[in-house]
Chain A
């Protein structure tokens, strides 16, 4: 109660020297604003980069491919074998090359923690037609279960994901929908689409291929925005086709042939690549190891992103350090202001002591004043950061629009914890800066101070 009254008194104290207090608070505001906006920038950048991966659940993904040198699970097939121990090599050369076929995929699906696994099938040259409009597109097979992950919902601009039955369905990228004459993505949903594929298909006998041409009818169930990063590459004209439907289309063999040429276990029915999704990112490494133990090559995005995350951590620390320097300079400003205040109010302090204020009361009075300056400065800093970042964001958006880039980029990200720590740090810095002036004030001898008056 007493402390609160002294704190109130401190607010009056700060309000008395308006210009000086405002300038000091402005110093803190600039420090806090700089710190918060710089960290927000690093966070925004990181989020911008990671969002599509998260959205697509890619952080949960393991990419499995047949091991080139036969039955060996390794992180990077291009790396020399120097780190492999001799007996490990001996054990592995005894194994025949592991075959990545449907049986292997089924076995992988049974590993605990695996949500689903599907062959990564791609078709480069499809023709899609709705009515009299048609366009070329590439297609990626997607398991029907993909729709169960909530992150995907944010990718969809219209419609739904695949149903879990075997209904013939496709999802179009918004670019494809536009090319097919649907200016509004929602109009495309529910339309019937003809998919024509041409290419080699496996014949009845092993090793036999036929050049065929096939058409299937499918319903457009949804339209999605192609994320900037991820499995889609540069193409904006992408369709997602359920894996079960994709199997029946010719042209897949070519991609399998290319893997054969690379020396892998490529044969009809063997997959070049299988995507395995874990229940959570935490299980990815464990599952990847199990898969490697089976003699496949397993690559995880999360470990590759790990480097990027370290880089971001570094960037954040660097920017935070720069911001902290600004803050510490502002703290010196507070120390200076308070020292001046102590000198200026020397007699007043002496009087308060003569009236019975303890050293602690006087210290509290000045620390409170420092805290008031820090709090006001910190809050102003947040406002400042908001205004500055809004301006930069506006500039960036305008610039990107002028360059013809429609992608919306949020360059800054302000999580609540960042705002709270901005204000908290301002408070800590100002209170720390107030320590010395406050103890100077606390040591004032009443009679000496009063004799000066």
Chain B
């Protein structure tokens, strides 16, 4: 793998492309610059690791790519769609069809069981009936939680909740998966299992994965490429094995 920001074959168009991407927050008098001009290209099928200290803007970058937040400057294009040009409705459809998101704090609906959480997501995807139930159960089985289908998030361990969140993000087999520290609360064995799952998914479906992690060793082992962020900017890239 080349060690520049834009690897792979030059002719291949990147599936994710950000240009001078910036996001700042106005808090009272002061302006916080969470991102200050990020240029990032991700090729289809990459498993990109994003590392960096806390507060360096990793989550912000992921949210912008996922169409959950709008940049204050610059642009993002995913799978040929310039997100800034999308209407509210088109942006919803983009989130629904193109990306899967694993949030840093999972965001499961606390009042719904693990299974119901997945079923609700499928409902929003437009999947109903017996096939919805089956898909949801299969997804839980893949993350090793088939037995805990009827338990609510509060009755699951943090790591188990995280796996439900991963299962939910992969339900509709999106071309792009954005994962914000999916292994943060897992022991090394479970973390490795989850990474195997993601890698398997990527291999099978050619899913492009952008994953934020603090675990350098994990990134070394699984990511095809790793970028580092500091103070809202991309630092020099690190090579993957």
Contact = CB atoms under 8 A, between A and B. Distances in A.
A347 interface: yes
Interface string B84-118: 00001100110111000101010101010000000
A1 interface: yes
Contacts of B125: 356
Interface of A: 1-2, 5-6, 9, 16, 347-348, 351-361, 446-447, 450, 453
Nearest to B169: A355
Nearest to A354: B68
B4 to A, nearest CB: 31
Interface in B29-46: none
B93 A358 contact: yes
Contact of B68 (A16, A348, A446): A446
Interface of B: 63, 66, 68-69, 88-89, 92-93, 95-97, 101, 103, 105, 107, 109, 111, 120-121, 123-126, 128, 168
Contacts of A450: 68, 103, 107
Contact of A361 (B103, B124, B128): B124
Contact of A5 (B88, B96, B123): B123
Secondary structure class of chain A's binding surface, majority of residues: helix
A9 B109 CA distance: 13
Nearest to B132: A5
B68 A355 contact: no
Nearest to A448: B69
Contact of B123 (A9, A354, A358): A9
Max chain A Cβ within 10 angstroms of own Cβ: one of B68, B69, B93, B97: B68
Secondary structure class of chain B's binding surface, majority of residues: helix
B92 A453 contact: no
Contact of A348 (B109, B121, B168): B109
Contacts of B69: 447
Given A355-B121, A356-B125, A453 B97 contact: no
B120 A9 contact: yes
Contact of A357 (B68, B107, B124): B124
Contact of A355 (B63, B88, B89, B95): B95
A348 B153 CA distance: 14
Contact of A453 (B105, B121, B124): B105
Nearest to B100: A355
A450 B66 CA distance: 14
A5 B121 CA distance: 12
Given A355-B96, A358-B88, A359-B92, 4 more contacts: A354-B95, A355-B121, A355-B168, A356-B93
Nearest to A350: B107
A453 B110 CA distance: 11
